[in-house]
Structure 1
Amino acid sequence: MLFRREVLEGIAGGRIDRVFRVWAVPRVKAGSTQRTWAGIVVIDSVTPVTPEEITEDDARHAGFTSRAALLTALSKSTKEGGYHRVMLHLGGPSPEAELRENADLSDQELAEVKAALDAIDTRSHRGPWTRDVLHLIQENPGLRAMDLAEHLGRDKLPFKADVRRLKALGLTESLETGYRLSPRGKAVMTYLHL
């Protein structure tokens, strides 16, 4: 489930505790979690609702100014299906978030990250790519994933999957558009002399 930046900020700030989606079949279930840049979002419940069951209170707690604004947004969905109320909360920071902010790495930690990157490159059927992607993001913060992928002659979706692998190591972070190196990523790039 994708969240807009302002929604994640609202969840992290405690202002938003529900979202609404148009689904033929719910894409999440109660008890599931989702890692985001803001932290771990926990799904508390997923309930089908009719437009009449959506209240002003629902709209405010979903980050909308009014019920009418929420219903207008839902009516613009291109997906088929019914409305669903997803109750949720921030369960805590994501492990990657804590990693990303740590730029004070010991020589051993830097060597471990280098070894992890080497292992990813060794297992890749395309050959080494981690340094190229890190360098590209370093040189082009905020550039769209599609444009970054084109720089490397790659398709967007496989490229984004690769960036997620780097993100899991705490080296990159997502922006509203594109990516940037995290403080940890910058420290690793200095260590790698890239």
Structure 2
Amino acid sequence: MDALKAELSGRGDGDIYRIEVRHAGDDPCIALRARSRMAAAERAKLLARLQRLDGGKPWTERTLGLIAENPGARAAELAMKAGQQAITFKINVRKLKSLGLTESLEIGYRLSPRGRALLAQMTS
């Protein structure tokens, strides 16, 4: 600690702050996306949420479908197919991810078991 203070003291007149980091727990989306079986009330609530996300311009079902058809495809490629800019597409996928419907891969995305189950309900 003394060596660190000595190093920092030679860098100017500034405050030194200590930041402590700890693991706050697993991402709740991980458990959520594994849950492919939903009660009717839960499914209805999720569909209502997607409808609110869609607003006046539906995109949620199309995005889920594109990811299902193209697992691992780059976001820019999927965005082009969706007629969106890549940044808009990525933001939208993050919204779906927060609901446990998609998973990020090293490159691209895939539907979670929950996302596959919901998309099957939406398209049947």
Task: Give the Cα separation in 1 of the matches to 2:66 and 2:93.
Answer: 11
Partner of 2:11: none
| Structure with the higher helix share, 1 or 2 | 2
Structure 2 gap ranges (5+): 1-17
Secondary structure in structure 1 of the residue aligned to 2:94:
helix
Kindly indicate whether residue 100 of structure 2 is the aligned counterpart of residue 111 of structure 1. Answer: no
Question: Cα–Cα, structure 1 residues 30 and 98, in superposed 2: closer, same or farther, change >3 Å?
Answer: farther
Secondary structure in structure 2 of the residue aligned to 1:165:
helix
1:8-23 paired onto structure 2 within 5 Å: none
Secondary structure in structure 2 of the residue aligned to 1:176:
coil
Q: RMSD between aligned alpha carbons?
A: 1.6
Q: Percent identity?
A: 44
TM-score, normalised with respect to structure 1 = 0.52
Kindly indicate whether residue 99 of structure 2 is the aligned counterpart of residue 166 of structure 1. Answer: no
Partner of 2:4: none
Larger radius of gyration: 2
Structure 1 gap ranges (5+): 1-28, 32-43, 45-88
Task: Give the Cα separation in 1 of the matches to 2:68 and 2:19.
Answer: 38
Which one-letter code corresponds to 2:120 in the other structure? T
TM-score, normalised with respect to structure 2 = 0.80
1:1-194 paired onto structure 2 within 5 Å: 30=19, 44=21, 90-122=23-55, 127-193=57-123
Spell out structure 1 runs of 4+ moving beyond 2 A: none
- Say whether the 8 Å CA contact 1:110–1:191 is kept in structure 2: no
Which one-letter code corresponds to 1:30 in the other structure? I
User: How many equivalent residue pairs?
Assistant: 107
| Structure with the higher strand share, 1 or 2 | 1
CA drift at 1:30: 3.2
